[in-house]
């Protein structure tokens, strides 16, 4: 009828003051237990639910956080938003979700628009320039995931140690020539993985060829399959599982057997068991990262920005079915032969603050 009942209506009905009703919910220990019970019964009966907006206006606390991701359709993100949402829910917070569509401008707009109405923001895999990020972090409560800009609050899923394990493992299997197939070039994770591969290889006399499946899609990776197979490498490390999966699709189409002809290791463990053979990959604790970020936002609700921090969760190598010993004869596969040693295509090796 008259819409949802309000605290004032409840109070009138019970012949008590609105403030008392309010306190029955927010600070019941200040009230006589019987009063609390009375109010609760009436509230229950009337179907009263508190108005978040009024509360937010009064307390200055929004009761919500914002979560911004580049592309929710990428399988890396759903588990993350799930974890964030669950944990936020436990803390009594709702979560606004927004998708930037990989567009930095959209991301920037989204941040400005959401920031004022929430307790804080979680920005995952930001595509913004470092300078802008620092600027934002100065005036907004925002936690970044997988973006490493100094003096911001950031939680990072670090795979470099796991990548080193992966490379030593490959090396023990006899692999000497490996490929790294990168993803979105602006991605911090991509840069990080790229250099992890480079550094280790340099130190251990492995020869690495770089490829880039630029938008990071299955199709892009699949299209790269032939070139990778023909490049003479015997193992490949992919930026993430969807690229690994795409490569495997390309390999299968080209008749290249994994792991007999080529070993492949993915990253993120998003699809691992859904490929055949099951994908060896680097598992990464997105849930922990998400929860850490949520927790950070829920603390110190007063402050206008988060104090800088660099939280790291390390990934771990998990071996499944796509890695094996190098073929007895490591002679090139029978594909249209390219240049003997194709000039190793280097894809941006920048090691700035957000590498």
Partner DNA sequence: TCTTGTTTTGCAAACGTTTGCAGAGAAAAG
Partner DNA sequence: CTTTTCTCTGCAAACGTTTGCAAAACAAGA
Give residues in contact with DNA (CB under 7 A).
3, 6-8, 15-20, 22-23, 25-27, 30-32, 34-35, 48-51, 54-55, 57-60
Closer residue to a second copy (CB): 33 or 116: 116
- Shortest distance (Å) from residue 126 CB to DNA: 27
Q: Dump the DSSP string for 183-198.
A: --TT-HHHHHHHHHHH
The answer to whether 308 touches 152, Cβ cutoff 8 Å, is yes
Three-state SS letters, 295-325: HHHHCCCCCCCCCCEEEEEECEEECCCCCCC
Left if phi > 0, otherwise alpha if psi is -120 to 50, otherwise beta: which for 43?
Answer: alpha
Partner from DNA, a second copy, none contacting 85, C-beta within 5 to 8 A by type: a second copy
Q: Dump the DSSP string for 197-239.
A: HHHHHHHTT-EEEEEE-TT--HHHHHHHHHHHHHTT-SEEEES
Partner from DNA, a second copy, none contacting 219, C-beta within 5 to 8 A by type: a second copy
DSSP element (H, E) containing 65? strand 64-69
- Does the footprint of a second copy cover residue 135 (CB under 8 A)? no
Q: Which of 320, 2, 317, 187 shows the shortest CA–CA distance to 10?
A: 2
Please, which of residues 256-285 interact with a second copy by CB under 8 A? 273-276
What are 38's two structure tokens? 């009375």
Closer residue to DNA (CB): 52 or 346: 52
DSSP element (H, E) containing 348? none
Partner from a second copy, DNA, none contacting 81, C-beta within 5 to 8 A by type: a second copy
The answer to whether 77 touches 284, Cβ cutoff 8 Å, is no
- Shortest distance (Å) from residue 116 CB to DNA: 8
- Shortest distance (Å) from residue 27 CB to a second copy: 21
Partner from DNA, a second copy, none contacting 18, C-beta within 5 to 8 A by type: DNA
Closer residue to a second copy (CB): 31 or 46: 46
Which residues form the interface with a second copy (CB under 8 A)?
Answer: 3-4, 49-54, 56-57, 62, 64, 67, 71-73, 75, 77-79, 81-82, 85-86, 89, 94-99, 101, 112-117, 218-219, 242, 245-246, 248-249, 252-253, 273-276, 304
């Amino acid at each position: 009828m008259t819409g949802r009942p309000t605290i004032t209506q409840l109070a009138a009905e019970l012949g008590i003051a609105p403030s008392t009703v309010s306190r029955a919910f927010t600070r019941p220990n200040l009230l006589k237990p019987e009063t609390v019970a009375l109010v609760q019964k009436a509230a229950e009966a009337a179907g009263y639910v508190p108005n978040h907006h009024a509360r937010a206006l009064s307390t200055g606390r929004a009761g919500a956080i914002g979560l911004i991701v580049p592309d929710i359709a990428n399988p890396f993100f759903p588990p993350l938003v799930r974890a964030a949402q669950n944990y936020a829910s436990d803390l009594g917070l709702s979560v606004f979700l927004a998708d930037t569509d990989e567009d930095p401008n959209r991301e920037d707009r989204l941040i400005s628009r959401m920031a004022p109405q929430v307790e804080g923001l979680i920005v995952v895999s930001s595509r913004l320039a470092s300078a802008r990020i620092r600027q934002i972090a100065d005036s907004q409560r925002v936690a970044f995931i997988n973006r490493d800009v100094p003096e911001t609050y950031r939680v990072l899923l670090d795979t470099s140690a796991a990548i080193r394990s992966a490379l030593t493992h490959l090396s023990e299997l006899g692999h000497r020539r490996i490929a790294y197939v990168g993803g979105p070039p602006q991605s911090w994770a991509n840069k990080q993985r790229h250099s992890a591969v480079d550094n280790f290889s340099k130190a251990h006399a492995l020869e690495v060829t770089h490829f880039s499946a630029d938008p990071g899609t299955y199709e892009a990776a699949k299209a790269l399959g032939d070139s990778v197979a023909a490049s003479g490498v015997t193992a490949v490390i992919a930026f993430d599982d969807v690229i690994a999966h795409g490569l495997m699709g390309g390999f299968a189409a080209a008749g290249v057997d994994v792991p007999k002809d080529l070993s492949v290791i993915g990253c993120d463990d998003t699809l691992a068991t859904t490929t055949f053979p099951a994908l060896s990959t680097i598992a990464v604790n997105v849930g922990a990262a998400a929860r850490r970020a949520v927790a950070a936002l829920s603390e110190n609700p007063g402050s206008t920005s988060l104090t800088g921090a660099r939280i790291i969760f390390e990934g771990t190598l998990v071996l499944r079915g796509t890695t094996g010993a190098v073929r007895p004869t490591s002679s090139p596969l029978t594909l249209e032969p390219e240049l003997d040693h194709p000039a190793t295509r280097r894809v941006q090796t920048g090691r700035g603050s957000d590498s």
